Amino acid sequence: MTPARHRTEPSPRHRPPLCALALAALLGALLAPARGAAQSKSDAFAGKIPPVSASLFRKAGRFELGLSGNISVNDAFYSKRFGGVKLGYHLTESMSAHLVVAGGLVTKAGSAVVCPSGQGCHAASERQMWQVPGRINTLTGLEFAWAPVYGKLNAFSEQVGHFDLSILVGADWIRYQKVVGSAYFTPYDNLGQDAPKPPSVATFGGHVGLGARFFFAEWIAARLEVKDYLYRVPIPNWQEGGSAKKDLQNQLFTELGVTFFFPLHNRPVQ
């Protein structure tokens, strides 16, 4: 009698489920194009932006000549629009000294109004404007700058922009129109004459600020600076101990301009 043949079937515990096989096939199909797309995307930008690991625009041992337009931003009495010139020398990559001169147009601010009791508000007169501080004529100063930050920006995935950030400290000779009191006009009123314009006087002051350069080439860059000028002015209408009280003035300026470096190319690294 021939023994019956038995087929050996795999145990259900060892047989891979059909759903697991289908899932593995689906994941493989999805991941393959994703890897190819990622590779093609990286290839599209390969070689367009070379790695930059050093300062391409060096300043040490070079002169700098800057031209700027300056606007006051916090004066309630006068609006100032100055032109400025800055000549400096870079002692190191981060330290520099500059001579700064600025001056220009000063006009009455739109917020310079008076509101007498029982009357409507109206623009301040010239006589009233002479009794308030802030009419600066020129700024001349010696400035020191420390630029601890040199950075790079990726612009539109095509170009690398270079910039630096500076801390500014300076001492200034500030020339301004003298502030007069109401008694200044009395002698002229008695004579029926208009009082002459007050003279210009000068005082020492100082400033602090922040600056940034955005380099276009080795010899040219855009410059943006914000400075707060500090100085003291006697106000005759404010009496203290029988004399005019001195008031500390804060004049905030924003400067935007262009700066040139000489020589026109980086000096060789020593």
> Residue 241: what pLDDT?
67
- Cα angle value 41/46/48 (rounded, 5°): 120
> Residue 196: what pLDDT?
95
For the chain, the first-to-last Cα distance in angstroms comes to: 104
Three-class secondary structure of residue 21 per DSSP: helix
Least confident of 3-12, 74-83, 123-132, 180-189: 3-12
Average pLDDT, whole number, for the chain? 83
CA gyration radius, the chain? 35
Residue 49 has pLDDT above 80, yes or no: no
Q: With pLDDT > 90 as the criterion, what percentage of the chain qualifies?
A: 62
Q: Which CATH class is domain 63-262?
A: mainly beta
Q: What is the pLDDT of residues 96-153, one digit of tens each?
A: 999 999 999 999 998 888 888 877 788 899 999 999 999 999 999 999 999 999 998 8
> Residue 160: what pLDDT?
80
Residue 266 has pLDDT above 80, yes or no: yes
Q: What is the pLDDT of residues 213-242, one digit of tens each?
A: 999 999 999 999 999 999 999 999 887 766
Give 31 or 263, the one with higher predicted confidence.
Answer: 263
> Residue 55: what pLDDT?
66
> Residue 116: what pLDDT?
82
Q: How far is CA 86 from CA 89, 92, 141, in A?
A: 10, 18, 10
Bridging pattern class, strands 220-240 and 243-262? antiparallel
